[in-house]
Each structure stands twice: as C-alpha cells, then as structure tokens.
C-alpha cells in the first residue's frame, strides 16, 4: 500500500516555465546576450538554476565566474517574479485534496533553490498538508543524487514499497531509482514520453488523478 509520495515541483506540481524563461531572458538581454524561445527552456531546466543559466549562456561564455555572475542577477529578478505566471497544473489541486482525505502523506523534492521552492508551495497550495518541502540547498548535491530523498525520509518508518517518487523528467526517474523507489513519470510536464520510458519509469501517467489508480492498485 502506498503511504507516502514525493513530488518534484517544476513540471510536476506547477507550470513555472513562463516565469523562469522571462527572468532568464531578461538577464540575458541586460548582458547583451541572445534571448531564447520558450521551447528551449523545457530542456534548460531540471538540474537546478545554476545549470539553467549555464545552458542559457552562449557556449563561449560558460565560465564559472560568468555563470555565477549572471545567476546572481537571475536570482534577484526571479525573486520578484516567480509567481507572476506560475500556476498548478490542471488536476493537481484535486489530487492533493484527495490525498489529504485519504491520509496519504506527501512531500516535495526540487532542484529549484530551497527558498523559491518553499515560497511557491506556500503561495499556491496554502490549504494542503505538505509533510516536508526541500529545494536545492548550498552544499547539497542536486537530483538525481538521492540525498534529498534521504533527507525527506529521515526519521520516517516507511518501506520503499510504500513510497512513490513522482516527476516529469529523466532526472526524476533516476532520482527515484537511486533511492530504491518506484518512479512515476508525468506526461503533462516539461519532457516527453520517450524520455520517461528510456529512463525506466515504472509508471507513466497523463493526468494527475491517474496517480490515485496506482495507489489503489499497489
């Protein structure tokens, strides 16, 4: 029986691509660099905001110093705009409400900076009962390293068979498997079915409420 679910954030619970793209393109333009079309950002994101900036910069400008400098500008810009267009995906609120009714606990594990992860969850889901919310913290590795999963589960007594990891990218599938968990791939997010299948997703769902069927059948 599934008793605990760990969700990715961007591309899984919320569609944040517009605010991310707007903030990155703003700082690129400010620095005289070419902006990118929205579709490019679906593949820029997923490994944290430092990697996002690295991928967005011209190849000959991807030095450690330049990435850090532009990332600082991005963080400042994004801190003022991260909830301009970011919204929950259709069906997410209904899913979380049903998990609350059933007493199934759930948490968030994101490569997004920890403060933004918490602010987005608290801003968009004030009435839902998230157990633990963790984003990228300085000094900690990003997913697919499973440390963030171990941090969430510390002190809890669930077995791997009682937990699902849910995300929209190969990084998420790998994270779940690296923590010895079953991983569910979401088709409404930033990546496609082929990527999720190639990553070895144990389940693939096309809408949030389909997760309830997996819970019912486990």
Query: In CATH, what number does 4-15+86-217 get?
Result: 3.40.50.1000
In this prediction, residue 86 carries a pLDDT of 98
Q: Match 């910069």 to its residue by tokens.
A: 57
* CA angle 37–40–45, rounded 5-degree value: 130
How many residues are recorded in the chain? Answer: 218
How far apart are alpha carbons 73 and 10 in whole angstroms?
Answer: 21
Q: Where in the chain is the domain with CATH 3.40.50.1000?
A: 4-15+86-217
Where helices occur in the chain by DSSP H, the ranges are 17-30, 38-44, 49-56, 64-78, 92-102, 114-124, 147-153, 170-178, 193-198, 210-217
Residue 130 CA to its chain's centroid (Å): 15
> Which residues are CB-contacts of 113 (< 8 A; sequence separation ≥ 6)?
48, 49, 75, 135, 136
Spatial contact of 116 and 82, defined as CB atoms under 8 Å apart: yes
Q: Where in the chain is the domain with CATH 1.10.150?
A: 17-78
Structure tokens at 214: 């997996």
In this prediction, residue 77 carries a pLDDT of 97
Q: Match 């679910």 to its residue by tokens.
A: 5
pTM: 0.94
pLDDT of the chain, 218 residues: tens digit per residue: 899 999 999 999 999 999 999 999 999 999 999 999 999 999 999 899 999 999 999 999 999 999 999 999 999 999 999 999 999 999 999 999 999 999 999 999 999 999 999 999 999 999 999 999 999 999 999 999 999 999 999 999 999 999 999 999 999 999 999 999 999 999 999 999 999 999 999 999 999 999 999 998 86
Fold of 17-78: DNA polymerase; domain 1 (1.10.150)
In this prediction, residue 6 carries a pLDDT of 98
In the 8-state DSSP scheme, what is residue 35?
P
CA atoms within 13 A on the CB side of 155: 4
């Amino acid at each position: 029986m599934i008793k605990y679910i760990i969700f990715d954030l961007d591309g899984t619970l919320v569609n944040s691509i517009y605010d991310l793209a707007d903030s990155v393109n703003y700082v690129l333009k400010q620095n005289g660099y070419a902006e990118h079309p929205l579709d490019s950002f679906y593949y820029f994101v997923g490994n944290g905001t430092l990697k996002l900036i690295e991928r967005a910069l011209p190849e000959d400008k991807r030095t450690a110093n330049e990435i850090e400098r532009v990332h600082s500008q991005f963080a400042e810009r994004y801190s003022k705009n991260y909830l301009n267009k970011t919204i929950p995906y259709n069906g997410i609120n209904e899913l979380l409400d049903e998990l609350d009714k059933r007493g199934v606990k759930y948490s968030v594990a994101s490569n997004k900076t920890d403060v933004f992860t918490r602010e987005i969850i608290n801003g968009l889901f004030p009435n839902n009962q998230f157990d633990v919310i963790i984003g990228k913290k300085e000094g900690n590795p990003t997913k697919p390293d499973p440390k963030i999963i171990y941090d969430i589960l510390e002190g809890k007594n669930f077995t791997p068979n009682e937990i699902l990891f849910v995300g929209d990218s190969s990084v998420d599938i790998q994270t779940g498997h690296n923590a010895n968990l079953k991983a569910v791939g979401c088709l409404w997010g930033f990546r496609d079915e082929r990527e999720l299948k190639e990553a070895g997703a144990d389940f693939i769902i096309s809408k949030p409420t389909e997760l309830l069927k997996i819970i019912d059948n486990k």
